[in-house]
Amino acid sequence: MYRSKESTIDRSITPAPGTDFLQLTVDDAPAGELSAWLARRLRLAISDGRLPVGSSLPATRTLAAELRVSRGVVTEAYRRLTEDGHITGRGRAGTTVVAAPVTTPTPRPSRAPHAPGSPQATPFTREPGSDVFDAVRAAPARIDLSPGVPDLASFPRAAWLRAERSVLSSASAPELGYGDPRGAPALRLAVANWLARNRGVMVHPDQVLVVAGTAQTLGLLAQVLRQEGISEVAVEDPGSLGARQHLQHWQLRTPPVAVDSRGISVDELHACGAPAVLVTPAHQFPTGVVLDGERRRELMRWAAGGGLVIEDDYDAEHRYDRPPVAALRSLLAERVCYAGSISKLLAPALRVGWVVAPPRYHRALVEAKRFTDLGNAVLPQLALARLMESGEMERRLRHMRRRHRMRRDVMMKAIEEHLPGAAVRGAAAGLHLTITFDATFADTDLATAVLGRGVKVQPLSWHCRRPYAPGLVLGYAASAPTDIADGIATIGAALQDL
Amino acid sequence: MYRSKESTIDRSITPAPGTDFLQLTVDDAPAGELSAWLARRLRLAISDGRLPVGSSLPATRTLAAELRVSRGVVTEAYRRLTEDGHITGRGRAGTTVVAAPVTTPTPRPSRAPHAPGSPQATPFTREPGSDVFDAVRAAPARIDLSPGVPDLASFPRAAWLRAERSVLSSASAPELGYGDPRGAPALRLAVANWLARNRGVMVHPDQVLVVAGTAQTLGLLAQVLRQEGISEVAVEDPGSLGARQHLQHWQLRTPPVAVDSRGISVDELHACGAPAVLVTPAHQFPTGVVLDGERRRELMRWAAGGGLVIEDDYDAEHRYDRPPVAALRSLLAERVCYAGSISKLLAPALRVGWVVAPPRYHRALVEAKRFTDLGNAVLPQLALARLMESGEMERRLRHMRRRHRMRRDVMMKAIEEHLPGAAVRGAAAGLHLTITFDATFADTDLATAVLGRGVKVQPLSWHCRRPYAPGLVLGYAASAPTDIADGIATIGAALQDL
């Protein structure tokens, strides 16, 4: 349906000599033994693994044309291999490899680093390394209460497919070429409108840079800041282990600044002397504290005095029992770098986010993005733009909020029942809550014990640099209510035996 | 259809206080003046641009529920704005903004850096900077003969949508979460099979790293090589300007090594003393030379002696008049880093590629990828895996080869007719050919003159470090035959007036 007339006209053209399939050319073939030669080459490819069991052979007509031999040559070669029992079939499924000669080298065992049973399958027993989240993900468990993901089961698959279809039917050919490293104009506009509507951030689409999630934002920003001579970004403590790992990978020091019940301590931020700070004001990770009015003003004064605020607005759209708070970016555009993504709105697997930097950093960020990947893939950007402009995202948000809120309530109730000694924090918003224990055990031991019982949770200490109460970070958004209740009960049981 | 029972159960739950829409909460509202207050807030948002003309307002029922006011309050506010002429509508389309109060700030002019008419609209008149390809892309022209893109008009939109549909219907919820930074297992397997079948490269799927195109491969590799103390990667001369820009951005020096009719000069490579080299052996860019057998052996001896070969296999699948050549990676896995992508097989806009590194670099590359973006987006990887495993890619390749070959022939014929003095190089394969002139003019002047006549071409000198004949790099894959003929005729005319 997308072919032009050409494709019918040019069928007459003789194919290129030889075939890419196994790089075969008849020049290697002894005269008069074409079938035997072809059968040998195929048998070799099957035995050395280039044609694994289950792989398909080209149609005899196609292969004959590409080799410029009579079709009978290929048919005869296939017949021999069929008799040997190496290949089978005809008809619609085509010819496929069913057995390899006994000479087959046994394939190397999969080195998937986190196979169940490998040491990393109990990721809490060691200092968390850069692959610790892979390790947790790969660990076998029947219930996953890891924080950081929304209700993925309700991903709007039908709406996404509709958007993809309309994008594919309307995208121009040039749009399928190399694109704007800043992101597709349609998505930058949609993001600008979204931020104005839902986050109080007024920004021109040209100031929006589309990135592959906030993880990439941190990497790009780190490169730019280091060019500017900034080698230190203060982080919240407790604060995200993952964000800290990213900043450190990009050679930034990350001095910790305490978080209390009102948010990050701006006094301590002043004291530590760092020129920049990474904060999660709308719903602090992991404690869930909301940066209160006075602290917001203090932080803005610190920024107005020359500090750079990196605002990770990772789950601000998810609120239950508190009024909305506009993003800090809306208060001081010159000193706040805003980072958002759809990982918590739709799905992390889409790897789409956006950054709105202070104007002075914008150009350098675009350059960093260009030399990282030339810009995000285009089709998903256009599909997402449609969801954002059509109101589908707001609908999804309202839908998710009901589900998330109910799941949170189920988790709170289960904690009351099974973990009476635990203090709950940060449950008014977001996708996770944090519990702490007035005790002295190592929460990594608890996480290990809980994982041993088939439930994944994150130890709070992963996210703490300085002594803090033992605790757990519990995601409730992605699990069914029954699993949530079961999971919390499991924690209670593990706690008994600790 | 993807909702569980929950969503019906939990409709009873009262919504969170206030609404994310403009961050409105009734706490700010003077008692008894709710409608007037709401109308004021909406009018303000319309006038300051948070609600641009054309944007939608929430349904009255939704907004009333979120604000916890009676629906009449919202209806009344909407009525007032409608009377003012700011908003309109009801019914399915909902309520939308149609006019802003005269106080609207005029929107900042788009700062799209390459708007037609801006200086960069004639990108050949200055030293090519990092955004030169954006500039060319943005320059207005009726015919685009820039190299580097396949026939995008024949992108298999229907097949891609089918693959997306089947992926969306079968992907598990966890697959929508954070994934394996190395890439989806299904795609790594498909790539391993593809490389074995079509490029003679035997590799275990665990050795394949999925990346966002070869541009990203160069950046990741540069980071890893610098960790290893390598600060210099020799490049071909003539050689890709873009690749050179990427290596240089990542602080690698790029000494030039001459390319002659048999490919890169390995003697000169020895002489320059660089520990690594970036080559395009299957179809050298831009000259189109194939690295001949003797040079391949010389290069492999150089690598066996400790050199690292980075093999950019960018368009090897496109052959017309010559037999297939297996990738260098198949000869010396320990010393060759193989980089491939689907930019020339499907479309650059998909931003998917793969790298198969020597084992010693693999782990470090995975880390670099993790801290760049946590891994490619998952859904497109799964869709691509289906196309590669189903044989759809081979079908597309055969289809494209016919079209490309015919378009190349049209270009050759037009060159004979309109550019009798030009020497044609590298036409036996690929998506572009190069012409050189036995003359002394600056090919950037020719490119400028040609662009002035509405045709985009690349000056060969962009890709040359040392004196070389003036010439043009001409892509034929993405243009219709009539445009190709027209474009070449235009070059002939421009040449007359030069």
Q: What is the pLDDT of residues B138-158, one digit of tens each?
A: 999 999 999 999 999 999 999
Record: contact B21-A179, CB cut-off 8 A: no
Q: What pLDDT is stored for residue B473 in this prediction?
A: 98
CA atoms lying within 13 Å on the CB side of residue B140: 6
Which residue among A17, A133, A379 places its CB closest to the CB of B349? A379
A111 touches chain B (CB under 8 A): yes
* pLDDT value at B266 more than 60: yes
Give A438→chain B minimum CA distance, Å. 31
Q: Which of A161-175, B120-134, B269-283, B290-304 has the lowest mean pLDDT?
A: B120-134
Domain ranges in chain B are: 13-97, 132-149+395-497, 181-389
Residue with the bigger pLDDT between B90 and B203: it is B203
Give A441→chain B minimum CA distance, Å. 30
Chain A residues within an 8 Å CB radius of B177: 137, 149, 152, 347-349, 478
Chain B residues within an 8 Å CB radius of A4: 153-154, 480
Written as one string, the DSSP assignment of A437-465 is ESS-S-HHHHHHHHHHTTEE-EEGGGG-S
B181-389 shares the fold of B132-149+395-497: no
pLDDT level of residue B28 (50, 70, 90 thresholds): confident
Q: Which amino acid is at A127?
A: E
Contact B4, A153 (CB under 8 A): yes
Tell me what the mean pLDDT of segment A488-496 comes to: 96
For B382, the closest chain A residue by CA position comes to A349
- Sign of the CA dihedral running A271, A276, A278, A282: positive
pLDDT level of residue A102 (50, 70, 90 thresholds): low
Angle at A485 between CA A480 and CA A487, to 5 degrees: 90
Record: contact A401-B250, CB cut-off 8 A: no
Give B229→chain A minimum CA distance, Å. 17
Strands of B87-191 (E only): list them.
87-88, 95-97, 143-144
Asked, as a colleague might, if the bond just before B116 is cis with ω within 30 of 0, I would say no
* pLDDT value at B315 more than 80: yes
Tell me what the mean pLDDT of segment B313-324 comes to: 86
B136: part of which helix (H) or strand (E)?
A: helix B132-138
Q: Which amino acid is at A297?
A: R
The Cα A357–Cα A274 span in angstroms is: 19
pLDDT level of residue A243 (50, 70, 90 thresholds): very high
Would you state the structure tokens that stand for residue B144, as one six-digit string?
């685009």
Query: Where do we find the tokens 């049209």?
Result: B410
pLDDT level of residue B418 (50, 70, 90 thresholds): very high
Which residue among A23, A94, A403 places its CB closest to the CB of B326? A23
Record: contact A22-B197, CB cut-off 8 A: yes
Asked, as a colleague might, if the bond just before A380 is cis with ω within 30 of 0, I would say no
Record: contact B371-A176, CB cut-off 8 A: no
Residue with the bigger pLDDT between A79 and B305: it is B305
* pLDDT value at A493 more than 70: yes
pLDDT level of residue B91 (50, 70, 90 thresholds): low
Strands A95-97 and A56-57, by their bridges, are: antiparallel
Chain A residues within an 8 Å CB radius of B169: 157
Domain A132-149+395-497: state its class. Answer: alpha beta
The Cα A458–Cα A136 span in angstroms is: 9
B92 touches chain A (CB under 8 A): no
Record: contact B212-A374, CB cut-off 8 A: yes
B374 touches chain A (CB under 8 A): yes
Chain B residues within an 8 Å CB radius of A219: 371-373
The Cα A420–Cα A39 span in angstroms is: 72
Q: What pLDDT is stored for residue A205 in this prediction?
A: 96
* pLDDT value at A55 more than 90: no
B16 touches chain A (CB under 8 A): yes
Would you state the structure tokens that stand for residue B477, as one six-digit string?
């894959």
Tell me what the mean pLDDT of segment A438-459 comes to: 96
Which of A20, A106, A410 to mutate: most B Cβ within 10 Å? A20
Percent of chain B with pLDDT over 90: 68
Percent of chain A with pLDDT over 90: 68
Best mean pLDDT range from A294-303, A310-319, B9-18, B61-70: A294-303
Angle at A179 between CA B408 and CA B357, to 5 degrees: 80
The phi and psi torsions of B361 (rounded to 5 degrees) equal: -100, -10
Give B410→chain A minimum CA distance, Å. 12
Which residue among A110, A317, A480 places its CB closest to the CB of B20? A317
What is the ipTM score, two decimals? 0.87
Chain B residues within an 8 Å CB radius of A367: 130, 249
Which residue among A215, A246, A406 places its CB closest to the CB of B10? A406
Chain A, residues 38-57, CB within 8 A of chain B, namely 48-52, 55-56
The Cα A193–Cα A201 span in angstroms is: 9
The single-letter DSSP state of residue B241 is H
Angle at A331 between CA A326 and CA A334, to 5 degrees: 135
Chain B residues within an 8 Å CB radius of A391: 56, 94
Chain A residues within an 8 Å CB radius of B401: 15-16
Give B6→chain A minimum CA distance, Å. 7
Give B297→chain A minimum CA distance, Å. 18
* pLDDT value at A103 more than 70: no
Would you state the structure tokens that stand for residue A123, as one six-digit string?
């990721």
A391 touches chain B (CB under 8 A): yes
Record: contact A350-B325, CB cut-off 8 A: no
Which residue among B18, B168, B405 places its CB closest to the CB of A157? B168
* pLDDT value at B492 more than 50: yes
Contact A182, A375 (CB under 8 A): yes
Chain B, residues 227-286, CB within 8 A of chain A, namely 245-246, 249-250
Sheet holding B458-459, edge to edge: B422-425, B432-437, B471-475, B458-459
Chain A residues within an 8 Å CB radius of B17: 321-323
* pLDDT value at B2 more than 80: no
Chain B residues within an 8 Å CB radius of A149: 177-178
For B11, the closest chain A residue by CA position comes to A402
pLDDT level of residue A7 (50, 70, 90 thresholds): very low
A468 touches chain B (CB under 8 A): no
Would you state the structure tokens that stand for residue B339, as one six-digit string?
């980089």
For B351, the closest chain A residue by CA position comes to A377
Tell me what the mean pLDDT of segment B43-50 comes to: 85
pLDDT level of residue A90 (50, 70, 90 thresholds): low
What would the pLDDT profile of B331-368 be if each residue is shown by its tens digit?
Answer: 999 999 999 999 999 999 999 999 999 999 999 999 99
In DSSP terms, which residues pair with A471 in a beta bridge? A436
Chain B, residues 404-463, CB within 8 A of chain A, namely 405-406
Which residue among A1, A112, A131 places its CB closest to the CB of B158? A1
B477: nearest Cα among B312, B323, B347: B347
Residue A3's SS3 state is coil
Which residues, in sequence order, are CB contacts of B8 under 8 Å at separation 6+?
none
Residue B30's SS3 state is coil
Task: Please give the CATH topology (third level) of the domain spanning B181-389.
Answer: Aspartate Aminotransferase; domain 2 (3.40.640)
Would you state the structure tokens that stand for residue A134, as one six-digit string?
């892979």
Which residue among B21, B160, B173 places its CB closest to the CB of A153? B173
* pLDDT value at B10 more than 90: no
- Sign of the CA dihedral running A454, A455, A456, A461: negative
Record: contact A19-B169, CB cut-off 8 A: no
Chain A residues within an 8 Å CB radius of B215: 371, 373-374
Q: What pLDDT is stored for residue B113 in this prediction?
A: 44
How distant, in Å, are the alpha carbons of A55, A63, A71 from that of A97? 6, 16, 20
Record: contact B219-A372, CB cut-off 8 A: yes
Record: contact B2-A158, CB cut-off 8 A: yes
Domain A13-97: state its class. Answer: mainly alpha
pTM of the predicted model as reported, rounded to 2 decimal places: 0.87
Would you state the structure tokens that stand for residue A171, as one six-digit string?
């995208």
Angle at A365 between CA A363 and CA A371, to 5 degrees: 105
Q: Using CB atoms within 10 Å of the CB of residue B160, give its burial: 0 to 12 exposed, 13 to 18 middle, 19+ buried.
A: buried
